[in-house]
Amino acid sequence: MSIKGKAYIAGIYEHPTRLAKDISLAQIHAQVAKGALEDAGLTKDDVDGYFCAGDAPGLGPMSMVEYMGLKPRHVDSTDTGGSSYVLHVGHAAEAIAAGKCKVALITLAGRPRAEGMATGTVPRSRGGTPTPDEPFEFPYGPTVVNMYAMCAMRHMHEYGTTSEQLAWIKVAASHHAQHNPHALMRDVVTVEQVVNSPMISDPLHRLDCCVITDGGGAIVVVAPEIAAKLKRPKVKLIGAGEFVKTQMGGKVDLTYSGARFSGAAAFAEAGVKPADIKYASIYDSFTITVLMQLEDLGFCEKGKGGAFVSDGNLIAGTGKLPFNTDGGGLCSNHPGNRGGLTKVLEAVRQLRGEAHPAVQVKNCNLAVAHGTGGSLGLRHGSATVILERE
């Protein structure tokens, strides 16, 4: 069974806040759910499937189902970190195709800024019973940034990738963010500014890192017969893939990500090629994340990502592959340190023709959204969806 054409994204909403001091976590989940349902032209009582991940307060989906007054007949709280919500789009389509639900709601919310969380630079123990890997990692001081940095270091060693090439990714994101009134960082930056920003963990500079923001977002995925009755432009899911990449028992290879497999599965299901894609939402926790995923999704040869992203090739209007036209996680929003959901949102805006006019891709009929969650250098979950404007 394939999910191709079995589900549509009918509603989306991105919370405008980037600092949620006076809003609770549950409140953000409900606000974004309300926003996405209103965008679709549906109501809370239409929802019969609910999807959330580890950012939702409570055990799995239960507390949020109660708080929002939902009555789902299908739930899924699979957590693959920031990529969860891309994965949920695929899972929602599977559930819809199997007749388990017709209107699936996916929500994300987080308040790391309001809570003063040291997101990227402090090693974190999960607490409780340790995972089997934790005693062999946590005491050494792995942080979010240094584990991604090791991928960049090895990429530079094997392929000659440079800091200037990585910087182009941030430069492109900043060109897009200037048009997004909600973006946390709206100033256009140069390659020089990126490589001269303070070193956080070699070879990643401060401006190679994404923003830390509060907020959230929601997606409504519906069955074809529901989509047919709604007034919004139709965005059809035609391919989805997921993968968990690990240290493979010590056969560690930092030069590629799980996108190699989740992407291949999604493209095969969709029956399209990377060259057909008009717009790409690519997870951008760090510049290196983007570069590796572009290679692994097949937009360029492995090791040639540095050349591919250079000279503005990712900038809408001038480049061959416009990416993250909302400014992405690098400049606009990374709600709850989980950037997968917002990747889907901007892909839907592009396909609907509702992106900012300055960054709207002409005749945008095919888009990819891809997420990486967890740690690129330790273990991560990859998820890819391919969306088509009908």
Binding map of other proteins across residues 358-377, x = CB under 8 A, - = no contact: -------------------x
Subset of residues 231 to 270 that bind other proteins, contact rule: CB under 8 A: 247-252, 254
DSSP for 240-272, please give it.
EEEEEE--GGG---TT--THHHHHHHHHHHHT-
Site string for other proteins, 174-203 (x = CB under 8 A): ------------------------xxxxxx
CA distances from 349 to 221, 232, 279 (A): 15, 11, 11
Nearest distance from residue 63's CB to other proteins, in Å?
29
378 binds other proteins (CB under 8 A): yes
Provide, rounded to whole angstroms, the least separation between the CB of residue 263 and other proteins.
Answer: 23
Cα 56–chain centre separation = 17
- String marking each residue 44-63 x if it binds other proteins according to CB under 8 A: --------------------
CA distance 185 to 168: 16
Only segment of 57-65, 93-101, 138-146, 328-336 that touches other proteins (CB under 8 A) = 138-146
* Residue choice 139, 190, 228, 229 for contact with other proteins (CB under 8 A): 139
Min dist. Cβ of residue 154 to other proteins (A): 4
Q: Which is nearer to other proteins, 96 or 151 (CB)?
A: 151
**Burial of residue 234 (number of CB atoms within 10 Å: 0-12, 13-18, 19+):** middle
Task: Show the tokens assigned to 48.
Answer: 């019969």
CA distance 384 to 239: 8
Least Cβ distance, residue 151 to other proteins (angstroms): 7
Least CB distance to other proteins at residue 19 (A) = 22
Nearest C-alpha neighbor of 323 from the set 117, 120, 168: 168
| Closer residue to other proteins (CB): 154 or 302 | 154
Q: Using an 8 Å Cβ cutoff, are 30 and 223 in contact?
A: no
Distances (CA, A) of 115 to 19, 185, 192, 321, 340: 10, 20, 32, 36, 21
Using CB under 8 A, which residues numbered 62 to 121 contact other proteins? 121
Nearer to other proteins, 63 or 247 (CB): 247
The minimum distance between CB 326 and other proteins, in angstroms, equals: 27
Render the burial of 160-198: b for 16+ CB within 10 Å, e for the rest.
ebebebbbbbbbbbbbbbbbbebbbbbeebebebbbebe
Residue from 22, 59, 126, 135 touching other proteins (CB under 8 A): that is 135
Burial of residue 363, with CB atoms counted within 10 A of its CB: 0-12 exposed, 13-18 middle, 19 or more buried: exposed
Cα separation, 273 vs 267, in Å, equals 6
CB 268 → other proteins: shortest distance, Å? 27
* Residues 6+ positions from 118 with CB-CB distance below 8 Å: none
Number of residues that bind other proteins (CB under 8 A): 41
Residue 22: which residues within 8 A CB-CB, separation 6 or more? Answer: none
Judged by CB under 8 A, which of 16, 130, 160, 271 binds other proteins? 130
Give the ranges where the chain is alpha helix by DSSP (H): 25-40, 62-68, 84-97, 144-159, 163-177, 191-195, 224-227, 259-270, 287-297, 305-309, 340-352
Please identify, using beta-carbon distances, which residue of 62 and 378 lies nearer to other proteins.
Answer: 378
Site residues for other proteins, window 140-169 (CB under 8 A)?
Answer: 140-143, 145-147, 149-154, 157
Q: Output 251 or 273, the one with its CB closest to other proteins.
A: 251
Q: Which is nearer to other proteins, 157 or 320 (CB)?
A: 157
For residue 244, what are its two tokens? 């968990």
**Nearer Cβ to other proteins (77/289):** 289
**Residue (201 or 342) nearer to other proteins, CB:** 201
Residue among 191 and 204 whose Cβ is closer to other proteins: 204
For the chain, give me the number of helices (H) and strands (E)? 11, 11
Binding region for other proteins (CB under 8 A): 121, 125, 130, 132-143, 145-147, 149-154, 157, 198-204, 247-252, 254, 377-378
